[in-house]
Amino acid sequence: MANKQTNFIYHIHPEKVPASTIRFTHTFGLGGMALVLFLLQIVTGILLKFVYEPTPDKAYDSILFMQNHLLFGHYIRNIHHLSGTLLIFVALFHLLRVFFTEAFYGPRSSNWIIGVVIFIIILFSNFTGYLLPWDQLSYWAVTVVTQMLSYIPVVGPELTSFVRGGKEVGAATLLTFFNFHTAVLPFALIILLLFHFWKVRQAGGVVVPRNRNHNGKGIIPVVPELVVRELVTGLILLAVIFLLAVFIDAPLRERANPAYSPNPAKAPWYFLGIQELIMHFHPFIGVVIIPVTLFTLLFYLPCFPFRIRNTGIWFSSSKGRKMALISALLALVIHPILIVASEYLIHFNTWFPSLLPVISGGLFPLILYSIIFLLYLFYIIRRYKPLSNEIVQAVFVYFLVTYTVLSITAIFFRGPGMALMWPWKIS
């Protein structure tokens, strides 16, 4: 039995690895934690599926029944909700760890693309599950997000109707989201995760610094050194989730009412940055141009012609770390200022009412923001004379912090009518 278990482990890991790669701070165990959270989602999701009924007249009541009358039903739903939320964060941090250690070259380039696809599927798996409670929070959040699809030129309205299964979010939407959440997307994730781990194994395990030559020194067996660490990390993660689930309840508002929209109606937290973009740009720019451009660059990343590859080194160098810090601080400072200016001072639509909204409310703000961004880019290039990979990482940090600021603004500082206001004034 032990030999069979060991053989299975060797399908996932090499027989021996450099000792430096099993330090917790090298990978923070993020890949393994993502797998544990996904498996926890599968187990708790199956248990919830025994009770849940995916119809508008029964969905909400089935949630109430499992919370109020089913033994451990409320607790299991809390675990499912927490693990789903944590899975997004852990998958994102894992993606960032790979990016900032430049572990996307050579044999790992295709695995980077697979990882980005996995992250996108995790987002939409969470989104499809968001509707299932059929309460006011989920109903109008899904309404807001699916409405964003209508801003896609030519096919937008038809695509919105197709996703909803009609003109409004209703029974067809709920059934479609349920099937995708419980069958289609989990199956896709299982296939991609198996392929993802196989590609990691094929590349010889996690990345090590390019200029570090072990020469057989510091090489340790995977069993028990790495496996025990992975087991302990997984158990600690489960213990934390099980404890938090006692105190943190999965949200459940009043029953969904299509006739009454809450004010404000907001998207799920991970899409709120895009909703905030629409407050400052034409919807076509905020929903289509900016997100599609950024994700296209992420997919293209392994193909960038980097002259020097500092694989395995965080932020490439000490200069790269300094540039990333400056980028983060700059984004934290200027974007709240730009948000306030856009809210109260800069109104291109009002200034140029005769122009098409996509020009006055889309092209002009985009040009203005592009000038600010290019000035920032000129500054860091002039001051630090960085390598191309250091520039890419600094720019990535800039936009990552930008999206974080947009999301925080939409979560905490948008009140009725999506107007800016202090959190304590929002009812």
Domain limits for position 340: 268-285+295-427
Give yes or no: residues 168 and 207 share one domain. Answer: yes
For the residues 128-154, what does the mean pLDDT come to? 94
Give yes or no: residues 158 and 278 share one domain. Answer: no
The total domain count for the chain is 2
Give yes or no: residues 118 and 238 share one domain. Answer: yes
Collapsed DSSP state (helix, strand, coil) of residue 414:
strand
pTM over 0.75: yes
Gap between the Cα atoms of 264 and 242, Å rounded: 33
Amino acid type, 244? L
User: Are the CB atoms for 145 and 271 separated by under 8 Å?
Assistant: yes
- 41 Cβ partners below 8 Å, 6+ apart? 80, 83, 84, 87, 186
Q: CB count, 10 Å around CB of 345? A: 8
How many angstroms separate the Cα of 220 from the Cα of each of 10, 199, 243, 250?
14, 21, 34, 43
Burial of residue 115 (CB within 10 Å: 0-12, 13-18, 19+) is: buried
Using CA atoms of 226, 114, 323, 386 in order, give the dihedral in degrees to the nearest 10: 110
Give yes or no: residues 123 and 45 share one domain. Answer: yes
Give yes or no: residues 32 and 67 share one domain. Answer: yes
pLDDT in tens, 16-62: 777 767 777 777 889 999 999 999 999 999 999 999 999 999 999 99
For the residues 358-377, what does the mean pLDDT come to? 79
Give yes or no: residues 201 and 333 share one domain. Answer: no
pLDDT in tens, 290-344: 999 999 999 998 888 777 777 777 888 888 899 999 999 999 999 999 898 887 7
207 domain residue, yes or no: yes
Only one residue has tokens 């980028």, namely 327
Give yes or no: residues 24 and 148 share one domain. Answer: yes
**Among 12-21, 171-180, 270-279, which stretch is predicted with the lowest mean pLDDT?**
12-21
Give yes or no: residues 234 and 334 share one domain. Answer: no
Give yes or no: residues 358 and 223 share one domain. Answer: no
pLDDT for 104? 84
Residue 35 belongs to a domain with what CATH number?
1.20.810.10
- Taking the CA atoms of 239, 244, 246 and 251 in sequence, report the sign of the dihedral they define: negative
For the residues 76-101, what does the mean pLDDT come to? 95
pLDDT in tens, 273-305: 999 998 888 888 889 989 999 999 999 988 887
92 domain residue, yes or no: yes
1 domain residue, yes or no: no
CA atoms within 13 A on the CB side of 210: 14
Give yes or no: residues 241 and 379 share one domain. Answer: no
For the residues 373-398, what does the mean pLDDT come to? 91
pLDDT in tens, 198-256: 888 777 777 776 655 555 557 777 676 777 888 899 999 999 999 999 999 999 999 99
Only one residue has tokens 């380039």, namely 109
How many angstroms separate the Cα of 235 from the Cα of each of 36, 239, 241?
9, 6, 10
User: Are the CB atoms for 329 and 398 separated by under 8 Å?
Assistant: no
